[in-house]
Amino acid sequence: MRLMISGGGTGGHIYPALALIEELRRTDPDADVLYVGSTRGLEKDIVPKNNIKFKELKIQGFKRSLSFSNIKTVALFLQSLHKSKKMIKEFKPDVVVGTGGYVSGAVVYAASQMGIPTMIHEQNSMVGLTNRFLSKHVDKIAVGFEDAISQFPKEKTIYTGNPRAQQVANLKSDFEWQDVGLKNDVPTLLIFGGSQGALKINKVVTESIRLFNKKDYQVLFVTGKKRYADVMKQIGDQKINDNIVIKDYISDMPNMLPKVAAIVGRAGATSLAEITALGIPSVLIPSPYVTADHQTKNALSLVKNDAALIITEADLTPETLIDNADFIMNDKDKREKMAENSRQMGCRDAATRVLDVAKSICK
């Protein structure tokens, strides 16, 4: 198969695409893949490291208010459309797949205009801007949450789960906590605010260091690449005990996640697919800044099943953070029960399902 794939901006759109590519290469070693990303997103660092051909487009999103930059957005979109068509003519894909982010809007739309089979994957329970636009033009729509089906044309939409779930569930981890300076035999709480880190979570965690210092469990706190320096400045000369390690980014999350006892984090759809694939209990702090508050909806699907706890960003303080973290980390039975509930929700064959949909539309 010749697969052209595009997903950009944040990890939540990129990692499902990488998981799909991994599944394609596993089942079809002769497959040829071209990934098209944006010049500004995380994909330009992440994708080439995975030995995947990568091409870039310059593109940006619409501002919600009337703004001059929206004129530039339209110009960049038209330019990207033109470049995408050129790339498609050269690469000659059998199918073009979009996993979200503005860049996928141009690439998938260009392909649909040229009569190439197209599909999108929507990770969230609420459809995003780009996928809403593309849904009218593509042949198939794969969704990560059953709740999303009703927001798309019924006849071409199918529930598949999120390909990243299968990737993390199948990996044989050789990760050791000693690799990051922690102990192997102490339960570890992983704290991170999605693929880019979250300002409020970082602030409250830095204010909680004194309290985490005293815990019997360990904490790995991941700040997001661009936020690390600020966090270290905020921490200043506070004492950090051996049970806490701070990192800017984890490059190989699938290898680490199976060894994590619990997670405190945002409720991005791809993170939740990983959490449920592996059965990890979590404390979720949904981002209030995303389209249609979709992270709250994502989070509540786990909370309803007693697989996660939720703290709204407005209620997040060192006290609520520590109370919720302790609730999970200090009670092994509770943790195991939540882990099982979380595992029940996992969709561990999602990459196969998405690939099957892509194959079904190839000419």
Ligand X SMILES: CC(=O)N[C@H]1[C@@H](OP(=O)(O)OP(=O)(O)OC[C@H]2O[C@@H](n3ccc(=O)[nH]c3=O)[C@H](O)[C@@H]2O)O[C@H](CO)[C@@H](O)[C@@H]1O
> Does 167 appear as a known binding residue?
no
Among residues 60 and 113, whose Cβ is nearest to ligand X? 60
For 99, the enclosing helix (H) or strand (E) is none
Q: Can residue 271 be called a binding residue for ligand X (CB under 6 A)?
A: yes
Under the criterion CB under 6 A, does residue 201 sit at the interface with ligand X?
no
Instruction: Identify the H or E element spanning 302.
Output: helix 294-304
* b (16+ CB within 10 A) / e for 53-79: ebbbbebbbeeeeeeeeeeebeebbee
Mask for 143-182, x = binds ligand X (CB under 6 A): ---------------------x------------------
In this complex, which beta carbon is closest to ligand X, that of residue 118 or of residue 123? 123
Nearer CB in complex with ligand X: 83/121: 121
15 binds ligand X (CB under 6 A): yes
Residue 188 binds to ligand X (criterion: CB under 6 A): no
Annotate 230-263 with DSSP letters as a single string. Answer: HHHHHHTT----TTEEEES--TTHHHHGGG-SEE
Determine which residue in the list 4, 57, 220, 222 makes contact with ligand X, applying CB under 6 A.
222
By CB under 6 A, residue 192 contacts ligand X: yes
274: contact with ligand X by CB under 6 A = yes
Per the structure block, which two tokens stand in for 251? 């490059």
Select the residue interacting with ligand X from 4, 5, 6, 13 (CB under 6 A).
13
For 107-118, b where at least 16 C-beta lie within 10 A, e where not — what string? bbbbbbeeebbb
Buried b or exposed e, range 229-247, using 16+ CB within 10 angstroms: ebbeebbeeeeeeebbbbe
Closer CB to ligand X, 106 or 222, in the complex = 222
Contacting positions for ligand X (CB under 6 A): 10-13, 15, 100, 123-124, 164, 192, 194-195, 222, 249-250, 253, 266, 268-271, 274, 287, 290, 294-295
Binding residues for UDP-N-acetyl-alpha-D-glucosamine: 10-12, 124, 195, 250, 295
